[in-house]
Amino acid sequence: MGAVSGGTGVPPERERRKAVVKIFAIYGRLFQAGAMTTPLALVFYENLLPGSQLVNRLQDLGYRVQTIGDVQTLVPQALQERPLIVVADLASAQVDVCAIIRDLKRNPETRHIPVIAFTDLKDEQLQTAATAAGATMVAGNDAILDQLPELLDQALQVE
């Protein structure tokens, strides 16, 4: 039989393992609590340069950012992650982003999430389609970076 500690009848290695598990559990709860207080933005983009700049800008503004590789998973991710806001590039070669925004806004559990969509301002048809789909606002490609704090404030105002 191995040594026991402190008269408890429990081997020291086992006590150490239990203490480590408790410490990890405490750190896990603290980490989750900290993560829960930082607002989450779900971001979809296909073009690397403006997209990565947008992610960096959101992080500079204090947001946790989760990028969406496949915009068709936006609604399930929004259901799971509960973001404060969604920012989406409308110019996709793969899928109709406006249809995905419409799905997000039709779901009773996600319809409250504001959506800032962005695209080339010359594409009025796409802007109109995004607004009709339920985007909270549509910004130009330049404005999304230059005026992001103002756009976020405006989109997050309670109606």
User: What is the share, in percent, of the chain residues with pLDDT greater than 70?
Assistant: 79
Q: How large is the angle between the packed helices 97-106 and 124-133, nearest 10 degrees?
A: 20
Q: Is residue 99's pLDDT more than 80?
A: yes
Tell me which fold the domain 38-156 belongs to: Rossmann fold (3.40.50)
Report domain extents, the chain: 1-37, 38-156
Q: What does the pLDDT read at residue 28?
A: 54
**Does 24 score more than 80 pLDDT?**
no
Of the listed ranges 17-31, 93-107, 117-131, the one predicted with least confidence? 17-31
Look at residue 3 and tell me whether its pLDDT is greater than 90.
no
Which is higher by pLDDT, 69 or 3?
69
Which two structure tokens, joined as six digits, stand for 83?
């973001």
Q: What would the two tokens of residue 47 be?
A: 């073009």
| 62/30: higher pLDDT | 62
Q: Are 92 and 71 in contact (CB under 8 A)?
A: yes
Alpha carbons 107 and 151: distance in angstroms, whole number: 24
Per the listing, tokens 């410490």 go with 23
